[in-house]
Amino acid sequence: MQTQSYAATPKRKVFISYHHRNDQAYKNHLLEFNLSHGIFIDAAVDTGGIDENLPSRDIREKIRDEYLANSTVTILLVGTETKYRKHVDWELYSSMFDGRINKKSGLLVINLPSTNCTFFKVAHPEEKEIVHPECKSWTSVTTRKEYEQLYPYMPDRIIDNLLKPEAKISVVPWDKLTKERLAFLIEATFQDKDNCAYELSREMRRSNHNPNS
């Protein structure tokens, strides 16, 4: 990540979803970066202890109301195996879900260098100018096939929602982030979260099966 000056914004409570075995180093780096610059409050919890035999509805409500209770923005770190991790899918579903106690969060997606993906998607006002000032030509993506070609490692649940503009999910490459851009993206994601209309019809994953392995 690079650094540059940025306007102070309120610190939001952020939950980071990621593949623990493959991408722990990136999670650690993000937290160290945040420790240096004070961009967000880490709402770290471990969802690995949930009884996997519970019905999907119970898992979803438990994560939303107990594990993600203190967070308002979820950052998804996407690596090469993230899309197959059931706990990641549970965290995404629960972040999008309006619980009995806690309401839905905003979602920000960061593609890690391991994906070798430099494409990005904007969802918030002023994002083009602040995060991607060098981009002078923009293309609209409207089909699932196009998104799957652009983001071959993206979880299906995220692609479901990239197809729905009302979901307001931005995608940014890791190497594009500065402290100013990260602070902007977190705050913009927070500000738009209550107006997000997420696509939640997909069933929750019940295994980590990778059909290509």
- Grade residue 156 by pLDDT with cuts at 50, 70 and 90: very high
Domains annotated on the chain, with CATH: 13-195 (3.40.50)
The pair of three-digit structure tokens given for residue 84, joined into one six-digit string: 């197959």
For the stretch 78-111, pLDDT in tens is: 999 999 999 999 999 999 998 777 889 999 999 9
Residue 17, classified by CB atoms within 10 Å of its CB into exposed (0-12), middle (13-18) or buried (19+), is buried
| Parallel/antiparallel/unpaired status of strands 13-17 and 73-78 | parallel
pLDDT at 57 over 80: no
pLDDT at 74 over 80: yes
Nearest to 121 by CA among 172, 168, 58: 172
pLDDT at 149 over 70: yes
pLDDT at 192 over 70: yes
For residues 140-173, one letter each, b for 16 or more C-beta atoms within 10 angstroms of the residue's C-beta and e for the rest, the string is eeeeeeebeebbebbbebbbbbbeeeebbbbbbb
